[in-house]
Amino acid sequence: MQHDKKVIRAWALFDWANSAYSLVISTAIFPPYFLKIAPPQVSIGPYRLSSSALFAFSVTFSYLVVAIVVPLLSGIADYRGMRKQFLKAFTLVGSVACALLFFFDSPSEVWLGIGAFVVATVGHAGSLAFYNAYLPEITSYDQMDRVSAMGFAWGYVGSVLLLLFNLWIILQPEVFGIQSPTLPVRLAFLSVGLWWWGFSQITFAYLPANRAIAVKTRRVLLKGVEELKKVGRRITANRNLRWYLIAFLFFSAGVQTVIYLASAFAEKELAFGTEELIIVVLLLQLVAVVGAYLFAKVSENWGSKISLWTMIAIWVGICIGGYSLQSKEMFYVLAAAVGLVLGGIQSQARSAYAKLVPSRTPDMTSYFGFLDFVAKWSLIIGTFCFGFIDQWTGSMRNSILALAILFVIGGLALIPVRIPEIKQIEQNNR
């Protein structure tokens, strides 16, 4: 199945499908829309949270659910050959929840909005663990950087096309006979659900199913746990994998927190409107396509660690710049910088890990389940720290500055990691 162009294109098309959630829901439109519709303070029992802190904590809760559930399902997927089934299930749950956001229209429905957002986030994050596990199966080590970058690039292009269509409706609702001030945005949420589910059907049609191993139904859960323990012991014993996952935990915490909360920061601290934020995100996405391929080239020529370290250094500068930011013009500059390293660091993080995983292992989904597990905990840590500092200090700027520390720790933890590069792999295969 390796190097089958139809399968590789179908795999990359899932990025095209699910990235609509990442761009429209989690990044561009939902965060500022939520802060606009929700009351400034929301009561949770005896406690009162600011709407921005509540949003940050909702992301934390979503990924806490995923961090608990997905690693277990990854082990079951390897043992029972259910990788594609789980990919389909999380995609269905996520896309339906995106469509349900259409009904979030007033402050009294704040829990509907948060609830649907949490479920959509769980669906999106859960699907990625099973999607990413296909990468080493459909391509070889020397092509992983390029195939991984292709997936992210297709995701950026597809999501931008959908966002442009949504921007047209938001800016010119009269063309579509729309009078409600919230309907254009709510239609954007509905469009994500349809887009995600619709295009993913092509992926499902071409991706292979992994082989199942017969086992009694009541023992499936136990075998899934055993599979995870087995892979966990292997990862712990592998020095490179162990240190890489520690580094990934910290720099991924910074990256993913920025993805989820940058637009909320712009709306609250700089008074950006929905239209302005969409333009910013479009700029970010277009630059990200270039960044994904640029740093894939850097990795090929100078190695994955140099590529990752370069991007981490840029991320530290972005966090420091965000703390001192005063003008909308400078926010556009920072958004372009984020775009340059956003696609690159996500793509390189995925392909670097794939290089470290033992080749031809039958536990591929479990290995990538652990990567997904660490990614989810990194976002839990990042968004919780962001929300806590925001609630404690009353300023999202302090939260942004704190993210720089996470990037620095991640860069330092990469020092002992030895990532096999293409030239090494070619020499070993001679």
Write out pLDDT tens, residues 118-160.
Answer: 999 999 988 987 888 787 778 776 677 678 778 877 887 888 8
Phi-psi region of 36 (alpha: psi -120 to 50; beta: other; left: phi over 0): alpha
Residue 92: name the closest of 196, 17, 191 by CA: 196
Residue 337: name the closest of 308, 360, 311 by CA: 311
Percent of the chain with pLDDT over 90: 22
| HEC-encoded secondary structure of the chain | CCCCHHHHHHHHHHHHHHHHHHHHHHHHHHHHHHHHHCCCEEEECCEEEEHHHHHHHHHHHHHHHHHHHHHHHHHHHHHHCCHHHHHHHHHHHHHHHHHHHHHCCCHHHHHHHHHHHHHHHHHHHHHHHHHHCCHHHHCCHHHHHHHHHHHHHHHHHHHHHHHHHHHHHHHCHHHHCCCCCCHHHHHHHHHHHHHHHHHHHHHHHHCCCCCCCCCCHHHHHHHHHHHHHHHHHHHHHCHHHHHHHHHHHHHHHHHHHHHHHHHHHHHHHHCCCHHHHHHHHHHHHHHHHHHHHHHHHHHHHHCHHHHHHHHHHHHHHHHHHHHCCCCHHHHHHHHHHHHHHHHHHHHHHHHHHHHHCCCCCCCHHHHHHHHHHHHHHHHHHHHHHHHHHHHHHCCHHHHHHHHHHHHHHHHHHCCCCCCCCHHHHHHHCC
- Render pLDDT for 12-54 as a digit per residue (tens, 0 to 9): 899 999 999 988 888 888 988 898 898 888 877 777 888 888 8
Cβ distance 78 to 366 under 8 Å? yes
What integer pLDDT is reported at residue 428 of this predicted model?
A: 44
pLDDT at 375 over 60: yes
- Render pLDDT for 238-286 as a digit per residue (tens, 0 to 9): 888 889 999 999 998 888 888 777 777 777 767 677 777 777 777 777 7
State the pLDDT confidence band at 426, using cuts at 50, 70 and 90. very low
Q: How far apart are CA 348 and CA 244, in angstroms?
A: 12
Task: Identify the CATH number of the domain in which residue 31 sits.
Answer: 1.20.1250.20
- Render pLDDT for 392-418 as a digit per residue (tens, 0 to 9): 887 778 888 888 899 999 999 988 888
Q: How far apart are CA 417 and CA 240, in angstroms?
A: 5
Which residue range is the domain that position 246 belongs to? 5-428
Residues facing 48 on adjacent strands: 43
Domain count, the chain: 1
